[in-house]
Amino acid sequence: MSLKSNHEQDLLLFLSQNQGYVTSKDILKALNISQKTVYRLIKKINEAFVDAPLIISERGRGYKLDYEKYINYQKGNETFKEKHVSPNERRKRIMEELLLYSPKYINIYHLFSKYYVGDSVISNDEQIMNEELKKFNLVLVRKNRALAILGEEVNIRRAVKDIIEIFNTIDIDDLKRNQELNFNQYDVLFILDQLRKVEEDLDITIPYPYNINIFSHLYILLSRSRKVPTRLFTDTISSEQMENMKRDILYPVTKIIVHNIEKYLNTSLPSSEIYFLYQYLVSSRMQGSLVITSTFSLGVSQITKAYIEGISTSLGIDIDRQSIFIDLANHIKPMLNRLEHKIQINNSLLSQIKVTYEEVFLSVTSVSESVSKTFNLPAINDDENGFLTLYFAKAIETGQHQRPIKILIMCTTGIGTSELLKTKVSKKFPELEIVDVVASRNTRRLKEKYSDAELILSTVHIKEEVPIPYLLVSAMFTIDDQKRLQRKIEEIYHEDQLLYQIHFNCQLKTKEEVYSFISEIVCQDNPLHIEEVINQLNEREKVGNTVIAEHVMLPHIESDQLKKSHILVIRLAHPIRSWDDQIKDICLLIVILLKNNESVQIKKKISLFTRALADEEYLNRLLNSHEKENFSKEILKIQEGES
């Protein structure tokens, strides 16, 4: 890639990291380029976008990235590749080749010739690689100018998965469509078909990251089996372990999958492969009726209880055991199996979890150390502690009651990328209720099937008009995506607050004063419409009596003069003794002002509130609330979905 192209990439990266506008001076200072270069780069980048510019400019403010367009650009744009391989990358590539061919020896010239390094560098690399392999209980052996990695098969595969970083960053959808991943596409399709078979046979879903863990295990098995005779896979499994496995519900489907692999490879595999795959399945958190249980072994129950009590003590808060126990125990059960069999899962959200929930994460890490000692478990690493942190963060945050926002998650197929995004969103934003995961091809059915959804999170651009607001995000759910979603959540909650206007102890003495007060509130931006709104309120009253209970009125209109719908709750300081000739002693007015062609979501919120008004006890609580704080709480209970 040319130097000029590098500047383009640097400029886009800089703009993507800044949410607002930045000046040209900011850019030239950050990138160390001239003012003319800044203008030239922006012009060149924008020329590639016919519909609208990728970089938005505004006089007096500077430049800003159209972030949603940028996400689409990234998907189609070839990522920057380093011209020179770093020493660390060189050693990783060599270890990858040695691991895939283990226990075979490979000539040193073959391994290092392409990197143009001398004997002293090779010797230094050998020492560093040997130290790296020790953590997997493997050794690097030199023999007759050749190298080999030796050790147990289970440790070799663990090292392959850890050292080949791509296994820790992929998602299911990328496997099928991203050619840059350089996977054997026949193997990819075969393994994905086996994963589907497991899910169908067991009537479960294997979510991210467990599906990627199983994919990685099977892909490495296929790669190793082609390079090394399977008779060299010497790991032995005890008869007791095999018998215990055969009694498990997962055993039959595990055996079928290994048999399918044998046919695919046209070679026989040792029986230990059934056990290896079984351990990956039993170590995965699954979704479905088969795996969600409220009955646990004594060990799982004791460890779950130890975590809840430990975190409660560490943070000095009372965590509701009933609300978290079953979910946490269903996570801890497969986690214990992962620890026993040294199966690691990658937590791609770990760095964000550490920053966002720093105090909780540190407490979980401390409690994990105590749990490991008390129950004689292997050390629990940061990836596992990160997942555990999310259960406690969710319990703490949902304890601070706020109504859940109902959302849909969408991708091309409704699986894969969406499931990855669903996992990340639900852990990062526990205040969101994910109603469903849907395919982008089904947009026409959204309104009838999901009328209460308030937002769609989509990994693909939605070309058709949809009746629900949507936000385009990347499948990896970056920090920028999270910031944009946080702003969207705040907008939705802010809309809730703006929908309700509470006026307590108002000094209004007549109907005319009430209607004038209402119209002035809703016509602040256009005083010319005040009289028109007053007339509409009066006309509505002529149609029928708006008294809904003793001392309570419900004036309501629908008008194109309204820019925004409102629910005004007006508690009078003193009753209006004579509203008109027939209506007396009005103390409370609940005013529904609905703009024409209002969204389904707002109409549902208004409908929810008006249904609550049919409850005589609820109205009495409003009438008998003598402090604004209590009065407001009663109103907001309906907003939050309480009765």
Give the fold, CATH level 3, of 508-639.
Mannitol-specific EII; Chain A (3.40.930)
Q: What is the pLDDT of residue 132?
A: 92
The separation between CA 443 and the C-alpha centre of its own chain, rounded to angstroms, equals: 21
CATH number among 3.40.50.10800, 1.10.10.10, 1.10.3720.10, 1.10.510.10, domain 3-76: 1.10.10.10
Give me the residue label for tokens 């003193």: 574
Under 8 Å CB-to-CB from 593, ≥6 apart: which residues?
518, 522, 556, 557, 559, 562, 565, 566, 567, 568
Domain 298-399 in CATH 3.90.380.10? The answer is no
Instruction: Say what the pLDDT of residue 82 is.
Output: 36
CA distance to 45, 197, 199, 285, 286, per residue, from 204 (Å) = 46, 10, 5, 10, 6
In which residue ranges of the chain is CATH 1.10.10.10 found?
Answer: 3-76, 83-151
CATH 3.40.50 spans which residues of the chain? Answer: 405-493
Q: Tell me what pLDDT residue 206 has.
A: 81
- Beta carbons within 8 Å of 176's beta carbon, 6+ residues apart: 188, 189, 192, 416
CATH 3.40.50 fits 405-493, yes or no: yes
DSSP letter at 118? -
Q: Which two tokens stand for residue 164?
A: 């080949």
pLDDT in tens, 379-414: 999 989 998 998 888 777 655 445 678 888 887 655
Listed as ranges, residues in the chain with pLDDT below 50 are: 1-4, 78-84, 400-401, 642-643
Please report the pLDDT score of residue 380 as a whole number. Answer: 94
Within 412-468, strands assigned E span: 432-439, 455-458
d(CA 319, CA 563): 44
Phi, psi (deg, nearest 5) at residue 339: -65, -45
Rounded Cα distance between 617 and 313, Å, is 40
| φ/ψ bin of 266: left (φ > 0), alpha (ψ from -120 to 50), beta (otherwise) | left
Q: How far is residue 428 from each of residues 136, 386, 390, 395, 407, measured CA to CA in Å?
A: 32, 12, 8, 12, 14
Cα R_g (the chain), whole angstroms:
31
**What predicted TM-score, i.e. pTM, was given to this entire model?**
0.48
Q: Which residues of 348-370 are buried (b: 16+ CB within 10 A; e: fewer)?
A: bbbebbbebbeebbebbbebbee
Outline which parts of the chain fall under CATH 1.10.1790.10: 298-399
How far the first Cα of the chain sits from its last, in Å, is 62
Which CATH code fits 83-151? 1.10.10.10
